[in-house]
Structure 1
Amino acid sequence: MPPTALDLRASAQKAETLSGQALLSAFARLADGLPELEVGPVRWSAQAELRQPLGELGADLGRAELPEPQLWLHLQASAELPQTCQRCLAPYAQPVEVDRWFRFVADETVALAEDEEAEEDLLAFEPRFDLAALVEDELLLALPLVPMHEVCPVPVRMSAGELPDLPEEKKPNPFAALSALKGRTTGH
């Protein structure tokens, strides 16, 4: 299971890569309401690093000290998650993969202010970061909105059933009613 109280800054300074795997049942929100289907583990890896802010290094060469490096996190995760196909209604294992970079900022206010212009995903820095929650969030976001097999294993029934043959009703011609109205208005 990914750590729930990770010191990201210390991890970045050590340049360590954290990785592992956990049963799907360890991720309560991810496993909630999924169909019963045997699937493999959730695999994950994360590496934090400190980077000099882009653009500031060259502009600040005349300064005695460099700006504080930014904290980044590279997250990779993969799993096969049980889903119910919305076409044939059969359960199946949906492969899901995450490969994303996150940059940490001081707090939510800074994240909101910089979000529009940032190409990367921004997260508010927390002294004890919940990596397990991030893995779970990202896998949830990677799920398809409408889960479906590429090709359903059984023929898909496209109607609710055969409708009985009903006698065809003769519908009145809409122009006949118009013609009758026209005859009344010209008779005045």
Structure 2
Amino acid sequence: MKPRAFVPEKLDLAAFIHDGASLAGEWPAASLERLAESAAPDAPAQGWPALHWRLQGETRPVKGGKAQAWLQVTAQVEVALTCQRCLKPVHEHVDIGRWIRFVDTEAEAAALDADSDDDVLAMPRHLDARELIEDEVLLALPLVPRHEVCPEPLIHVDDADEPAGEEGEGERPNPFAALAALKRGGSA
């Protein structure tokens, strides 16, 4: 029997898992629109290496019950995000390795997902694996990207505002002293 051909953008997930099939490939990072939007302005996604991905379907037998449908999703990509300290590009390696269990209905998925550490989703008729992989990569991006040590020294705002005059000049009044004076009934 000839093995089935599976297309990642319109994956017959039930058949893919039943067959224990696997797919692998790579996509240009710029072709993943939502991921490309996260790029640092100085390092657009067109310059990033390709995203490498792999899917593996698996059926796990359960004693006295229906076999469980699982999908392993792995992906690796190098992205350039904006450092939140210096605002320069910071390169981050994102490595995804996740198992997702698929069940028959949304209600069953919601009940199992609440009680389990595993990711549980309802079995779709067709799955857009490209969208699923992009979702997983976006979820794995750091919330606050930043360099361990920024490539250029940071300029402190107070340092930039102060004139290079004599010492003692430019000292600002303590705002809390003014508040204390107001509380005592005096003027600031």
- In the superposition, the TM-score normalised over structure 1's length comes to 0.78
Which residue pairs with 2:78 in the alignment? 80
For the aligned residue pairs, the C-alpha RMSD in angstroms reads 2.7
- Of 49, 62, 71, the match for 1:40: 49
Q: Does 1:94 align with 2:92?
A: yes
Counterparts of 1:151-170 in structure 2, within 5 Å, are: 151-160=149-158, 161-164=160-163, 165-166=169-170
Tell me the CA shift for residue 168 of structure 1. Answer: 6.5
Q: Number of matched residues?
A: 167
Which residue pairs with 1:147 in the alignment? 145
Q: Distance in 1 between matches of 2:74 and 2:122?
A: 19
For the 8 Å contact 1:111–1:123, the answer to whether it is kept is: yes
Which residue pairs with 1:132 in the alignment? 130
Structure 2 gaps of 5+ residues are 1-6, 164-168
Q: Distance in 1 between matches of 2:170 and 2:86?
A: 29
Q: Does 1:12 align with 2:42?
A: no
Which residue pairs with 2:58 in the alignment? 49
Identity over aligned pairs, percent: 36
Q: Which has the larger radius of gyration?
A: 1
Tell me the CA shift for residue 109 of structure 1. Answer: 1.7
Q: Distance in 2 between matches of 1:133 and 1:82?
A: 20
- In the superposition, the TM-score normalised over structure 2's length comes to 0.78
For the 8 Å contact 1:39–1:93, the answer to whether it is kept is: no
Offset from partner CA, 1:129-150 (integer Å, 9 cap, x none):
1111110000000001101012
SS in 1 for 2:142: coil
SS in 2 for 1:116: helix
* Higher RCO, 1 vs 2 (CA within 8 Å, ≥6 residues apart): 1
Which residue pairs with 1:63 in the alignment? none
Q: Distance in 1 between matches of 2:131 and 2:10?
A: 10
Tell me the CA shift for residue 33 of structure 1. Answer: 4.6
